[in-house]
Amino acid sequence: MLYIADIKGIKNIPELAVHLGYDSAEKLYRLKRSSEAKPSVDILNDFTNKFEDLNIRWLLNGRGEPFEKIAPKIAPIIAPNDKNLPIKQGNVPAVVAIDRATKEEAVTLVPVKAAAGYLNGYADPEFIEKLPTIDIPGLSGQTHRAFEVRGQSMPTQHSGSIAIGRWVESLDQIKDRRVYILLTKFDGIVLKRVLNRLNTDGKLILMSDNDNKREYPNYPVSPEDILEVWYWRGGIIREIPEPGSTYTRINDLEGRLTLLEQRLNSR
């Protein structure tokens, strides 16, 4: 026990007692006076609660190292910022969450109520640490983030659904007509289908899948106004969306052709 205190820079038994929240150091002195004295369950519990990286196996039987290397819940990783590459985003987000148990990146969820704060807090470890995380099978080994959808611009992802995106390292990796989650300086978090016109016009064109283009028009965005981009991998859909009008017309046409084919074959 005293060896643990020494490693942690605690100079003496009275100081250790204060560190553990004891009113008296007598129970600790008892351990020092007799080499055969064993710490009580309460003392073991106090030590493990105070020193979270303490190796329980070492404490009980001397196996392994006294302290384990535990990854912090939030590991701030600063993405490179090369001003000479305006379409460069960075090989990692500004901040990622690390699962304590698996030591792998966790999927941070940005709920609607935190969306406004995300615009200012996406690079703030303290802000990201307060966000919940969710476990999505099959996403290990890559950086993903989940966003609660608001609005009806993308009918396939109703308002209240969860959109899950994979980090995009560079804006020039954006492929035409794929769906992305973008964090922009002026609109915050948006879920849009994108046309990549960076090489020709220096813009990304953000498009809605909603048929009502008057309410959900397409619009261009400059790369310097984009803070993050996540490639939409799927999501947790709140309800099954109704088919769009074009899809409905195609289905109706296919139905008519099927009936016509059946009549012709029956003759």
Digit-coded pLDDT (tens) for 80-139:
333 333 344 666 788 888 777 667 788 999 999 899 899 999 988 888 888 998 888 777
Query: Is the model's pLDDT at 239 over the cut of 50?
Result: yes
Summarize the confidence of residues 243-267 as an average pLDDT: 68
Give phi and psi for 157, each to the nearest 5.
-125, 90
Bigger pLDDT: 185 or 20? 185
> What is the pLDDT, as a whole number, of residue 144?
92
> What is the pLDDT, as a whole number, of residue 179?
95
Q: Is 261 exposed, middle or buried (0-12, 13-18, 19+ CB in 10 A)?
A: exposed
> What is the pLDDT, as a whole number, of residue 25?
83
What mean pLDDT, rounded, does the chain reach? 79
DSSP collapsed to 3 states, 190-220 = EEEEEEEEHHHHCEEEEECCCCCCCCCCCEE
Q: Is 150 exposed, middle or buried (0-12, 13-18, 19+ CB in 10 A)?
A: middle
Bigger pLDDT: 180 or 212? 180
Cross-strand pairs, 146: 109, 164
Q: CB neighbours of 155 closer than 8 A, spacing ≥ 6?
A: 209, 210, 241, 242, 244
- The pLDDT tens digits of the residues spanning 62-81 come to 777 776 654 444 444 333 33
36-55: b or e for each residue (b if 16 or more CB lie within 10 Å)?
A: eeebeeebbebbeeebeebb
Output the pTM of the full model: 0.60
Give phi and psi for 46, each to the nearest 5.
-65, -40
Summarize the confidence of residues 144-153 as an average pLDDT: 89
Whether 204 contacts 183, CB under 8 Å: no
- The pLDDT tens digits of the residues spanning 26-73 come to 888 887 777 677 777 778 777 777 776 777 777 666 777 776 654 444
> What is the pLDDT, as a whole number, of residue 85?
36
> What is the pLDDT, as a whole number, of residue 51?
74
- Helix, strand, coil share of the chain (percent; to 5): 30, 25, 45
Query: Is the model's pLDDT at 154 over the cut of 90?
Result: no
* CATH of span 74-236: 2.10.109.10
